[in-house]
């Protein structure tokens, strides 16, 4: 029995051998679930609400600052957080340093969108930066009273940056970041005037 030429087989099956185009790559569907929040108020300097899917992971605390992560084990994502006490002389420099950290992503960013927060009752003012494109940190934010306190956060994923694949989780975490910013309150005059107590969970 002879093998039929491949072109004949294609014709018999009613298929074109030259018009084949592969399907575009897809991504696994990620179920993020509902937003549930808990209050972090164990630190005497500040308080805020954060996701029930996350936990506080302490990195370092000292007289001149606090560093910790809000870790999402399900999504392998972190919000890297830092707090620095400031004064009138250091506020402008600290704010500019934080802004430069955002705009370092300009090389790979498609766009950077800024949204501003004002909460005069709590004396909290902030900026949320949404960095579009395949960047290492797609969301960053700052919170301050412009007098004594400066808080900064940056979202990172434990994965190669790909805005399409992380989009559902990023949108979920963005809502959490906005909730954190809206609920944030500074509770003490400065970190230097109180004992710091960031507990590992």
The string of pLDDT tens digits covering residues 37-70 is: 999 988 889 999 999 999 999 888 877 899 999 9
114 contacts: CB under 8 Å, gap ≥ 6: 127, 128, 129, 130
- CA pair distance 165, 143, nearest whole angstrom: 29
Question: Which architecture, in CATH terms, is 38-193?
Answer: 3-Layer(aba) Sandwich (3.40)
The pLDDT-based confidence of 198 (bands split at 50, 70, 90) is very low
Sheet holding 111-119, edge to edge: 55-62, 65-72, 77-85, 149-157, 139-144, 124-132, 111-119
pTM (2 decimals)?
Answer: 0.79
- CA pair distance 178, 137, nearest whole angstrom: 16
Q: pLDDT tens digit string along 124-179?
A: 999 999 999 999 999 999 999 999 999 999 999 998 878 888 899 999 999 999 99
């Amino acid at each position: 029995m002879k093998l039929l030429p491949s072109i004949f087989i294609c014709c018999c099956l009613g298929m074109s051998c030259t018009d084949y185009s592969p399907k575009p790559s897809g991504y696994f569907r990620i179920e993020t679930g509902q937003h549930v929040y808990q209050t972090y108020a164990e630190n005497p300097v500040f308080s805020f609400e954060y996701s029930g899917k996350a936990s506080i992971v302490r990195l370092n605390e000292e007289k001149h600052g606090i560093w910790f992560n809000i870790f999402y084990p399900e999504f392998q994502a972190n919000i890297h957080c830092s707090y620095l006490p400031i004064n009138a002389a250091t506020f402008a420099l600290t704010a500019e340093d934080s802004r430069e950290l955002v705009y370092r992503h300009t090389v790979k960013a498609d766009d950077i969108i800024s949204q501003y927060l004002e909460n005069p009752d709590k004396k909290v003012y902030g900026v949320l930066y949404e960095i579009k494109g395949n960047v290492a940190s797609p969301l960053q934010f700052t919170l301050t009273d412009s007098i004594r306190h400066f808080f900064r956060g940056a979202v990172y994923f434990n994965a190669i940056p790909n805005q399409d694949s992380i989009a559902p989780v990023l949108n979920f975490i963005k809502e959490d970041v906005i909730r954190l910013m809206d609920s944030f309150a500074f509770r003490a005059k400065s970190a230097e005037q109180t004992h710091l107590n960031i507990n590992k969970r």
